[in-house]
Amino acid sequence: MITLSSTFRISFRALRVNKMRSALTMLGIVIGVGAVIAMLSVGTGASRKIAEQISSMGSNLIMILSGATTAGGVRMGSGTQPTLTMADVEAIKKECPAVEEAAPVLNGVAQIVHGNQNWSTGVIGTTPGMLIVRDWPLLYGRPFSQQDIKSAAKVCLIGQTVVDNLFGGADPSGKIIRIKKVPFVVAGVLASKGQSPTGQDQDDVIYVPVTTAQKKLFGTIFPGMVRIIMVKAKGAGELSSAEKQITDLLRQRHRIGPKQENDFTVRNLTQMMQTAEQSSRIMTILLGAIASVSLVVGGIGIMNIMLVSVTERTREIGIRMAVGAKTWDIRFQFIIEALTLSLTGGAVGILAGVSGSSILTQLAGWPTIISTYSILLAFGFSGLVGIFFGFYPAYKASFLNPIEALRYE
């Protein structure tokens, strides 16, 4: 039996003789492996980004919108008819066992002024529970308290984008800003969350106590009304039971008969986003599958060249058989040759894939993530391709008739 090192030497020598041919054959595998790695990195990057955005929204999130108005037969959108109240928020918190926390949203857009800077942003009246619902830590300062809510204190928490635009990055805690000309003390700064899954800047926001918003900013003819209630369920498994409990509770509280429509809408945000994440994962698999087709095509290229090589070297095979090469000696020689082609191609392909995905990131701005798993997958797959497509030519070579092979011109 021939040793492995001798087999490798024979294979390297044979590949060196036809440098151009070997390089072109490898190119097929280089492209295949490179494409698999680059495509998987694009897909993984996209789903990681979506996952990050989902977790930035807060986990296990349910949103309740107040109902739609109907004026003269024309139905307006959700939230136009204020049907949700502060009392609903308290009731959801107390009576729905699957709910961890609930917070109201009473929002509007306002002009904010600090010194000689001004900025227009969304102002949200809410309760301290909001920070729990959204999993939103503070960068500086303190959250507002129940006391602030009761006394309708003029304090606010501001997002990073607002800080950047009004203060240029310095810690603004304790400074005074004017919202709609009403002076507010900055109690704290919200940590940066970046874009939401829908592309909005989540940091462009100001939180004020809901009572203050009702009384000082967005005076409403329906006191105690809120537009949206944000709810955090106790766990991912309890999202749908929370949804059901909230619906039942609100129908009861709003005295909606069995055949009447809800005057509110419950949306399970997390579930929506998880669907988006799942579809991006499917996209990753699809991209990888398409790219691996090119790897298979590369493998067919190897098989083609190996068949040519076996024919060209018929006499060599005959000589080896005459001096005592056995079936597997010949087979190993050609399989190792195919494997050398595919693994060298695979190694170069890893480099191509890694640099390809970093070029994609730089030129197209796509988030890409190269996982060790995808490299191992592509490299292992290229090895399998080499063995699979090398086997038939090797098998053919090993069954040549030595007499005919020796006579081959």
Partner 1 sequence: MSLITATEISRTYHLGDIQLKALDDVSITIEKGEFVSIMGPSGSGKSTFMNVLGCLDKPTGGKYFLEDTDICSLGRDELAGIRNKKIGFVFQGFNLLPRTSAIENVELPMLYDSISSKERIERAREALKSLGLEGRENHHPNQLSGGQQQRVAIARALVNRAPLLLADEPTGNLDTKTSTEIMELFVKLNTESKITILLVTHENDIAAYSRRTIRFLDGRVISDEVKSRQ
Which residues contribute to the site for partner 1 (CB under 8 A)?
1-3, 5-6, 13, 17, 315-316, 318-327, 329, 402-403, 406
- Looking at the Cβ atoms of 222 and 328, the one nearer to partner 1 is 328
Least Cβ distance, residue 320 to partner 1 (angstroms): 7
Neighbours of 69 (CB within 10 A): 16
Residue 323 or 364 with smaller CB distance to partner 1 = 323
Separation of alpha carbons 10 and 161, rounded Å: 65
Shortest spacing between CB 400 and partner 1, in angstroms: 11
Q: Which is nearer to partner 1, 17 or 24 (CB)?
A: 17
Nearer to partner 1, 301 or 318 (CB): 318
Residue 204 to residue 110: CA distance in whole angstroms: 12
Rounded distance between C-alpha atoms, residue 228 and residue 255, angstroms = 19
Task: Kindly state the smallest distance separating residue 394's Cβ from partner 1, in Å.
Answer: 15
Q: Which is nearer to partner 1, 221 or 323 (CB)?
A: 323
DSSP 213: I
- Nearer to partner 1 by C-beta: 73 or 324? 324
The dihedrals phi and psi of 174, each to the nearest 5 degrees, come to 85, -15
- Least distance (Å) from partner 1 to the CB of residue 399? 9
Would you say 10 or 99 has its CB closer to partner 1? Answer: 10
- Please state the closest distance from residue 347 (CB atom) to partner 1, in A: 26
Distance in angstroms (rounded) separating the CA atoms of residues 150 and 52: 35
339 neighbors 394 (Cβ within 8 angstroms): no
CB 309, min distance to partner 1, A: 14
Residue 310 CB partners (closer than 8 Å, separation 6+) = 317, 334, 393, 394, 396, 397
In contact, 298 and 28? CB cutoff 8 Å: yes
> Which secondary-structure segment (H or E) carries 358?
helix 327-364
Among residues 192, 233, 254, the alpha carbon closest in space to that of 56 is found at 192
Q: Closer CB to partner 1, residue 3 or residue 198?
A: 3
In the bound state with partner 1, the residue whose beta carbon lies nearer, of 71 and 323, is 323
DSSP secondary structure string for all residues of 364-394: H-------HHHHHHHHHHHHHHHHHHHHHHH
Six token digits for residue 341: 């082609």
Using the minimum distance from each CB to partner 1, give the nearer residue, 6 or 355. Answer: 6
- Determine whether 323 is exposed, middle or buried from the number of CB atoms within 10 Å of its CB (0-12, 13-18, 19+): exposed
CB of 307 to partner 1, least distance (A): 20
**How far apart are the C-alpha atoms of 79 and 70, rounded to whole Å?**
12
Q: How far is the CB of 390 from partner 1 (least distance, A)?
A: 20
Q: What is the closest distance, in whole angstroms, from the C-beta atom of residue 21 to partner 1 in the complex? A: 15
Closer to partner 1 by CB, 101 or 316: give it: 316
CB of 22 to partner 1, least distance (A): 15
Residue 304, phi-psi category: left (phi > 0), alpha (psi -120 to 50), beta (remainder): alpha
CA-to-CA distance for 251 and 315, rounded, in angstroms?
88
Give the shortest CB-338-to-partner 1 separation in angstroms.
Answer: 20
Task: Write the CB contacts of 379 (distance below 8 Å, at least 6 apart in sequence).
Answer: 33, 343, 346, 347, 350
**Among candidate residues 372, 373, 390, 377, the one with its CA nearest the CA of residue 346:** 377
